[in-house]
Amino acid sequence: MLPSRSAPVPFYEKVKQTISDNIASGVWRPHDRIPSEAELVAQFGFSRMTINRALRELTDEGLLVRLQGVGTFVAEPKGQSALFEIRSIADEIAARHHQHRCEVLTLEQTQANALQATALNVREGTLIFHSVMVHYENDLPVQIEDRCVNAGVVPDYLAQDYSQTTPHAYLSLIAPLTEGEHIVEAVRATAEECALLNIKEHDPCLLIHRRTWSASHIVSHARLLFPGSRYRLQGHFMS
């Protein structure tokens, strides 16, 4: 019987290993921008397709964060936010044995503008509730929650103490979730959002647009902004 020979390591795996080693050794630290695809092609002498596959897989594995037109960044060791399962951010943070707190910036009744009216499927000018909050994990800002709520479905939304509960938890109690919608995209935060999240301009961010229904009514639409280097979205589903 002939002795077995190990298969040669694919080129993209060599690139992944080098990048992983640089991250593990601290050569590249969380939030650092790594060389561009073109620079990595020149460094390794491999094809752009090979480099792209290595970066794509490292991004899928949570080591890197890529933002179209901005660059590729080293991710922080991070918590995971449910993509298909809708959970309270306070519950997610508690599951990691960390401390959650919430700072309420806006809690008001207002008239729905065109975008809010479309999101809630109400007429423009309808009275709705609007809230803006920053959620913290161990005193580190991890999410800006900008939410509009159907006042006809949840009339006491403004009367709640959101330092003791979360909008998601309260809405789930009053108008139990029967349907949800997620739209996820990579975005650049505004200067104000960067200040609230304590990140630098052009740092990558993840944005979730989340709509929830109870029976046939849209209950709320939330714009959830995460620092891309601090969170990874993960979902699990079965056919």
State pLDDT tens for residues 207-232: 999 999 988 899 999 999 999 876 66
Task: Please state the rounded mean pLDDT for residues 2-17.
Answer: 76
Residues 24-39 have pLDDT tens digits of: 888 998 878 899 999 9
Residues 42-76 have pLDDT tens digits of: 999 999 999 999 998 898 777 887 765 667 888 76
CATH number for the domain spanning 33: value is 1.10.10.10
Cα angle 209, 211, 217 (rounded to 5 degrees) comes to: 160
Residue 239 lies in a domain: no
CATH number for the domain spanning 174: value is 3.40.1410.10
In the numeric block, the tokens 């009339």 are attached to 155
Contact indicator for 218, 150 with CB cutoff of 8 Å: yes
What are the C-alpha distances in Å from 11 to residues 17, 23, 45, 53, 125?
Answer: 10, 19, 10, 10, 58
In whole angstroms, what is the distance from residue 148 CA to residue 74 CA? 33
Out of 35, 51, 72, a domain closes at 72
Residues 88 and 162 in one domain: yes
Out of 22, 43, 72, a domain closes at 72
Count of domains for the chain: 2
Task: Please state whether beta strands 204-214 and 179-188 pair in parallel, antiparallel, or not at all (unpaired).
Answer: antiparallel
Residues 107 and 219 in one domain: yes
pTM: 0.64
Residues 64 and 170 in one domain: no
Residue 175 lies in a domain: yes
Q: How far is CA 39 from the centre of its chain?
A: 28
User: What is the domain range of residue 43?
Assistant: 9-72
Residue 1 lies in a domain: no
